[in-house]
Amino acid sequence: MTSVEVKNLTKEFHIRNGMKRSTLTAVDRVSFDLLPGRTVALVGESGSGKSTIARMLARLEKPTSGSIDVTLDDRTPVHGSVYRRHVQMVFQDPFASLNPFHSIEHHVARPLKIHRRTRGAAETHERVVHMLERVNLSPAEDIAARRPHELSGGQRQRVAIARALAPGAQVLIADEPVSMLDVSIRLGVLNLMARLQREDNLAVLYITHDLATARHFSDEILVLYRGRVVERGPADSVILNPQHDYTKLLAASAPDPERMGKLVRAAGAPDRSGIDNSVSFNHYTGEWTSLDKRPVPVS
């Protein structure tokens, strides 16, 4: 089993804007641990540095400072080319993360070959089919021969998950894995990841801006704001009892179908849109507002 210890991870980008040079601290002294069988959720608005953390963990970006230590059960460190066998990543956009030129088989077979998980073409093909079946892609033989544009978004993201697990990864970084998918299939993909995590005892970093799924699928939540962790703790307590103003804002702005329905009914919410175009209904707060964003009393 593999664990990851992230300490004071910092990433600065140097931006050259004409003559001016400036430094952007995208990630500022972030620390957390990823343990087998547990999920840490990283929550934050767009641009808060979530993907940068994921990319540093996947060794696509070098940290400016801080450390990422990956160790096995007996505390022996993992580094060099073995690192990629242990730590794998699922990207946000399944339409961009598969090469349009290659077949699905290529995508899953390459990590198997690179990390010498299989010997010979027959065994590799067999394992590819097995991996595709594990992520509920069937008929696997048929899917393996297809190319990415012949699959739906959800199917592609399953292929991406199969590719990530192919080298035998123990640590999975999922960067907003369902945010580009249709709402109706998000839960299916998340449940699949949860099942694979149980089966393989994976350590998972689940990056999202959706507090509801963060609460449901993770043990610990870290709230990221402009590169800094502003709040952290067990999932339930962070959501139900947010301390930091930013977390409160996030929690309040998360669409909660139950609460919204009640508010709408309580207010009587007459449909005024047909009569009067100058008001609109805010589904998050359950209020009617005028064009200049002032609340409008419900008659």
Partner 1 sequence: MTNLTPTTEPSVADADEALAATAREEGRKPRAGWRAMLPSMTPSLVIGFGIVAAIVLFGLLGPLFVQDPTTVRNSGLQPPGGGHLLGTTQTGQDVLAQLAFATRGSLEIGLIVGVLATLLSAFFGVLGAYLGGFADEAFSLFSNVMLVIPGLPLVIVISGFVPQEQRGLWTIAVVLAITGWAASARVLRAQTLSLRNRDYVAASRVAGERSWRVIAVEILPNLLPVIASQFVFAVIFAILSEAGLAFLGLGASNSSTLGTMLFYAQNGFALQLKAWWWFVPPGLIIALLGCGLSLINFSIDEIINPKLRNVRAHAKRMRIARKAAAR
Ligand X SMILES: Nc1ncnc2c1ncn2[C@@H]1O[C@H](COP(=O)(O)OP(=O)(O)O)[C@@H](O)[C@H]1O
* Structure-block tokens of residue 296: 């409008």
Widest pairwise Cα distance in the chain = 74
> Interface with ligand X includes 26 (CB under 6 A)?
yes
SS3 at position 126: helix
Q: Cβ distance 61 to 238 under 8 Å? A: no
Please tell me the distance from the alpha carbon of residue 8 to that of residue 181, in angstroms, as a whole number. 33
Count of residues that interact with ligand X, criterion CB under 6 A:
12
Count of residues that interact with partner 1, criterion CB under 8 A:
40
Beta-bridged to residue 135, according to DSSP, are: none
> Interface with partner 1 includes 248 (CB under 8 A)?
no
Binds 284: which of Mg ion, partner 1, ligand X, none (CB < 5-8 Å by kind): none
> Interface with partner 1 includes 250 (CB under 8 A)?
no
> Interface with ligand X includes 51 (CB under 6 A)?
yes
Cα separation values, 29 from 23, 120, 181, Å: 15, 45, 31
Residue 44 is which amino acid? G
SS3 at position 104: helix
Binds 91: which of ligand X, partner 1, Mg ion, none (CB < 5-8 Å by kind): partner 1
Binds 13: which of ligand X, Mg ion, partner 1, none (CB < 5-8 Å by kind): ligand X
Using CB under 8 A as the criterion, what x/- string covers residues 136-175 for binding partner 1? Answer: ------x--xxx--xxx-------x--x---x--------
Using CB under 5 A as the criterion, what x/- string covers residues 3-42 for binding Mg ion? Answer: ----------------------------------------
Look at residues 180, 178, 98 and name the one whose alpha carbon lies nearest to residue 143.
Answer: 98
* Structure-block tokens of residue 9: 């991870």
Contact residue for ligand X among 17, 22, 46, 299 (CB under 6 A): 46
Look at residues 42, 47, 38, 39 and name the one whose alpha carbon lies nearest to residue 30.
Answer: 42
Which residues would be at the binding site for partner 1 (CB under 8 A)? 55, 58-60, 81, 84-85, 88-89, 91-93, 96-103, 110-111, 114-115, 142, 145-147, 150-152, 160, 163, 167, 271, 273-274, 280-281, 283
